[in-house]
Amino acid sequence: MITDKIYDITFIPKRIVSVVPSQTELLFDLGLNNEVLAITKFCIHPKEICQTKAIVGGTKNLNLEKINSLQPDLIIANKEENVKEQIESLAEKFPVWLTDVNNYNDALQMIADLGKITHKFEKADSIIKSINEQFSAPKFDNKRKAIYLIWKSPFMTIGSDTFINSMMNEAGFENTFQYLTRYPEINLENIANSDCEFVLLSSEPYPFTQKHVLELQIALPNKKIIIVDGEMFSWYGSRMLKSGAYFKELSETLMNSD
């Protein structure tokens, strides 16, 4: 069974496999250390707990045999981050709760739903309240136009229907390619001819480094190239407790560099 409806989960899960890093972190922050049996190799927060859990492959290359052997009573997956065929195969044997998070409000709803499913109502409400407080500051009057790169060779950016786009808005940026959808390929000419002021190089999924900043700065002398923490822009869940402060610091840094 695959479901995105909380009322379809009529039991309190005690044997959970989480195959989405940001949702794994949320599960632990909800206090479900004992209930989570296994995670992916990309589930890294909090480190001290993740190191004690079984690893069932990567988000897009799950070890189905190992998951089967664990006999979970709930698998928590995501429409975008996991492979449809693998999740459908698992759903033939185990309940799967499939999330679909495309913006700030979706993320808060996911936290609330997970709190209900696991009967961690108060903790989920507390996390949501704290996130809202972090993001309650007055919005930016003049957003800075930016391009957010998630991949190299080919370059890939993000469109309007993504969680990252929503976080860019929260961070004070206007996505130059917001008229596109999902994760389109672009090239240096597209970037050079755009009206963006900043090119944001995400630290994940492609591990952009200072080397890439220098290379792109030569190719794009009229743009400001900076590396940003990809987790802060792309991890929905309790990582958002840290995103608000990060965005504020980033904005202040950019203003001071003008």
CA-angle at 240, arms to 250 and 30, nearest 5°: 155
Residue tagged 């003008």 (tokens): 258
Which domains are delineated in the chain? 2-134 (3.40.50.1980), 144-257 (3.40.50.1980)
pLDDT in tens, 75-100: 999 999 999 999 999 999 999 999 99
Six-digit token pair at 28? Answer: 């632990």
User: What pLDDT does 7 receive?
Assistant: 76
Sites in the chain below the pLDDT cut of 50:
none
Strand partners for 225: 199
Q: What 8-state DSSP symbol labels residue 179?
A: T
User: Measured between alpha carbons, how far is 223 from 16 in angstroms, rounded to an integer?
Assistant: 46
User: Measured between alpha carbons, how far is 147 from 153 in angstroms, rounded to an integer?
Assistant: 16
